[in-house]
Amino acid sequence: MMSTVTRLLTNKHVVIAMLVAPVLAVIAYFAVDASVSEPPKAAQPGQSYPLAVRSNCRYTSGFCQLENGDMKLKLESQGVEDSRLTLRLVSELPLEGAQISLAETSPQAMQVTDSHGTVWQVSLPAPTSDEAQIRLAVSMEGSRYFAETPVTFIEHKTFYTEHQKMQDAS
């Protein structure tokens, strides 16, 4: 006597259904995405757009990535020295201007350091607390982009550096 499973797997209709179902699921996934998703729109001059703050901004990674469509920025910390925080902004596209501030200070213009307008630098007073926020605003082709991120990323600290400090101390 054949078991129920064996009878099921020898039925050609069941076998075809098991092969076709995953293909139909993938097709349905992309069809729903195409019909529901909003088409990307070009930035309009004179308008302001928020930058998405990536997860590395919340950790001691040494850098913070911000983006909105084609606008991709990387805020790199050069570290705190003599109670001054030096930040470097790298953009994939040339910027017209960049301003940055810690939440408790007034905005300060960043200085362009290359001829293309893609690398900017600034020195700010070191943040006084871990809860401080960095506010960034940049302009490109008449559009403005802005973001606010915690200062957690300004220190580059990994398990390896912590372990090395403990080894050096002993």
pLDDT tens string, the chain, 170 residues long: the values are 568 888 888 889 988 999 999 999 999 999 999 889 877 777 788 888 999 999 888 888 888 999 998 889 999 988 888 888 888 999 999 999 999 998 777 888 899 988 888 999 998 888 888 788 889 999 998 899 999 998 888 877 766 655 666 667 66
- Tokens 């209709």 sit at which residue? 13
User: What pLDDT shows up at residue 82?
Assistant: 83
> Cβ(63)–Cβ(76) under 8 Å?
yes
The continuous run of DSSP H or E covering 15 comes out as helix 12-36
User: What pLDDT shows up at residue 170?
Assistant: 62
11 C-beta neighbours (distance < 10 Å), count:
11
User: What pLDDT shows up at residue 120?
Assistant: 93
User: What pLDDT shows up at residue 90?
Assistant: 93
Can you give the pTM of this predicted structure? 0.70
CA distances from 64 to 20, 145, 170 (A): 44, 15, 33
- Tokens 């580059």 sit at which residue? 156
User: What pLDDT shows up at residue 166?
Assistant: 67
User: What pLDDT shows up at residue 132?
Assistant: 86
What is the three-class DSSP state of 21? helix
User: What pLDDT shows up at residue 159?
Assistant: 63
What is the three-class DSSP state of 156? coil
